[in-house]
Chains A and B, each alone.
Chain A
Amino acid sequence: MAPDIVFANATTELAEYEQAGGYSALAKARAMTPAAVTEELVTSELRGRGGAFFPAGRKWSFVPSKEQLPKPHYLVVNADESEPGSFKDNEILSRVPHRFIEGCLITAHAIDCENVFVYIRGEYSGPYEILVGALEELKDRPEIRGDVTIVVHRGAGAYICGEETALLESLEGKRGQPRSKPPFPAVSGLYASPTVVNNVETITTVPPVIAMGGAEYAKLGVPNTRGSRVVSVSGNVVNGGNFEIDAGTSLREIIYDLAGGIPDGRALKAVVPGGSSTVILTADEIDVGYDFDSLAALHTAMGSAGIVVLDDRCCIVQLGVRFSEFYEHESCGKCTPCREGTRWLTAILRKLEDGRATQGDLDLMLDVCDRINGKCLCPLGDSDAIIVASYVAKFREEFQAHIDQGGCPFGGSSSLDHVIAPVAMHTHSPVTQVPA
């Protein structure tokens, strides 16, 4: 039985949400001390849903008290969902905006904060309008808002702003380039003040955790991955979409039972389990629980829960090209290994795909991966290096075939053949003639 926690009684209307018990968790939390609310989160074992999977309660507990450090505290919600394959926060904000807002208000209480910023990616006009509409409904409800101000801040198209320190830079009106850590945001984040940065799904899970109690929530799921998880399933499946699952549900069940399996009688080839940045799984590896420990045993991760299903028409080298073009396009340019390395990976993969690569190029490519991985301020470049290396590790014979046959063995029939990527489009070059 699939749990119904994040999406329960989905509504965008305040009246309907309250009728179904909405904002009662907020009242319950406000009757508790901030430390007790945080303790409840620690007990729930809720871990961050943005990708890093850090225990949410512990993150809150790192914020120094105002006696220790006399500065305002900030809550910044990361709604910059841009990881290829992930679209859960889009639907959460669109369908349960009030549960999300209630989560913001409870968290604000727990960390003693009066200013909440929701950084939402600029492309999400639909969810933005719904969220602003929901906040509008609270204008006449000071008892719900309390002394908390929620500002919805729109991004403007930059994947890197999903990295928390780049997000903070962007929110401060700068280019979205990651900061070196430490200091961590809990001590010195937005405006150099203590800041908690949480993902949309994490925040939206807070009200149900408070309502049912941390101990009750921790009974769901499996050890190390408690509660429910919203997974985004896309690619070659019959029913793409978001599904709320019990953590630990098998990947096979998610693909075949929830998403309806592979269409057109095709065979499964590979699965990207947690967004583009995660190590690929072969068709033989999907009998695995969708939880932290089970996926870690296969050296991969839940990431931001974007499950991309690929059938046997997909050329793995082309997959590498397209994802690498993405990282190249989105590299902020601050760290040399990422800025130059992602471009090199794309170039070598392209050479392989076009049949111009020699045996040495494959070694060179893996060498470039090593020279990016672990050498940058943030995980963007690492992601490109890790996934490309995983494609070679698991589909080496396909890479070899590109070299041996002097071209793509799919001969133009791959599902990713000749896809135009923004990086090839020079997005900042003139798109029309500039008038004289």
Chain B
Amino acid sequence: MSSLYERIQEERAKYPADAESAVLPALRLAQEEHGWLSPDTLREVANALDETPAYVKSIASFYDQFHLAPVGEHLVEVCTNVSCAVVGAQQVVEAFEGELGCRCGETSADGKVTLRAVECLGGCGWATIVAVDHHYRTHVSAGDVPAIVEELRGA
């Protein structure tokens, strides 16, 4: 596989009018490779983009999906906006907290799973929506949670 630097150059080539457009794709690639965006990783991205680390961090800190601190191997994101909440999203969050032994916003002690509440994921009619490693599970209820956690602990 090509290096992160090379893959960022491929992203930049998609925007011939202004390679600065590749900031989000570059941060995404870096996060996929390292799991989170450490100061060192931000410097690496800045180098590849010919930007300053401060600029790159100013972008990374604006967007919700970028992690500026370490996260678990897997990411569980529960939508708690209104459409999910009125059919039991909070019970789903609490079931995950119970199974994982950590609070919402934290990572389980074994480092396997980070649990987050997130804003509307755009699947309201199929509530509750839970994004497991960025792929949506629909119609999730509290009763489904133990199986999801078991699956992630085994993976």
- Which residues in A have some Cβ–Cβ distance to B below 8 Å? 72, 81-87, 89-90, 115, 121-126, 151, 153-159, 170-176, 191, 193, 232-236, 240-242, 272, 276, 306, 308, 310-311, 313-314, 319, 322-323, 326, 329-330, 332, 415-422, 425-432, 434-435
Contact = CB atoms under 8 A, between A and B. Distances in A.
Contact of A83 (B87, B120, B131): B120
B21 interface: yes
Contact of A84 (B17, B82, B117): B82
Contacts of B118: 123, 157, 422
6 contacts: A87-B125, A123-B121, A157-B64, A176-B63, A429-B69, A430-B69
Interface string B95-118: 000000000111100010010111
Question: Which of B63, B104, B116, B134 has the largest count of A CB atoms less than 10 A from its CB?
Answer: B63
B62 A176 contact: yes
A252 B44 CA distance: 56
B25 A420 contact: no
Given A170-B24, A432-B70, A87 B116 contact: no
A430 B70 CA distance: 7
A419 B59 contact: no
Given A427-B116, A431-B116, A122 B63 contact: yes
A153 B17 contact: no
Contacts of B136: 125-126
Contacts of B107: 431-432
A172 B125 contact: no
Given A240-B124, A420-B93, A156 B71 contact: no
Contact of A419 (B23, B64, B80): B80
A352 to B, nearest CB: 17
B80 A85 contact: no
Nearest to A115: B17
A157 B28 CA distance: 12
Contacts of A330: 119
Contacts of B23: 173-174
Interface in B9-65: 14-15, 17-18, 20-25, 27-28, 58-59, 61-65
B64 A85 contact: no
Contact of A431 (B14, B66, B71): B71
B145 interface: no
Interface residues of B, number: 58
Given A84-B83, A233-B125, A326-B119, A153 B25 contact: yes
A172 B20 contact: yes
A72 B17 CA distance: 10
Given A170-B24, A326-B81, A87 B63 contact: no
A153 B68 CA distance: 22
Contacts, number: 200
B118 to A, nearest CB: 6
A201 B104 CA distance: 35
A319 B121 CA distance: 18
B125 A241 contact: yes
B116 A323 contact: no
Contacts of B66: 156-157
Nearest to B133: A125
B21 A240 contact: no
B37 to A, nearest CB: 11
A155 B111 CA distance: 27
Contact of B123 (A87, A176, A235): A87
A319 B82 CA distance: 7
A236 B87 contact: yes
B149 interface: no
B135 A125 contact: yes
A322 B122 contact: no
Contact of A329 (B67, B119, B126): B119
A173 B59 CA distance: 8
A412 to B, nearest CB: 12
B8 interface: no
A38 to B, nearest CB: 24
B125 A434 contact: no
- Which residue, of B86, B89, B118, has the highest number of chain A Cβ atoms within 10 A? B86
B86 A85 contact: no
Contacts of A191: 17-18
B137 to A, nearest CB: 11
Nearest to B67: A431
B140 interface: no
Given A122-B65, A158-B62, A234-B83, A306 B124 contact: yes
Contacts of B17: 72, 115, 191, 193
The 3 closest A-B pairs by CB, nearest first: A157-B64, A240-B125, A234-B124
A97 to B, nearest CB: 16
Given A322-B85, A326-B119, A431-B71, A157 B135 contact: no
B122 A425 contact: no
Of B21, B22, B72, B111, most A-chain CB atoms within 10 Å: B21
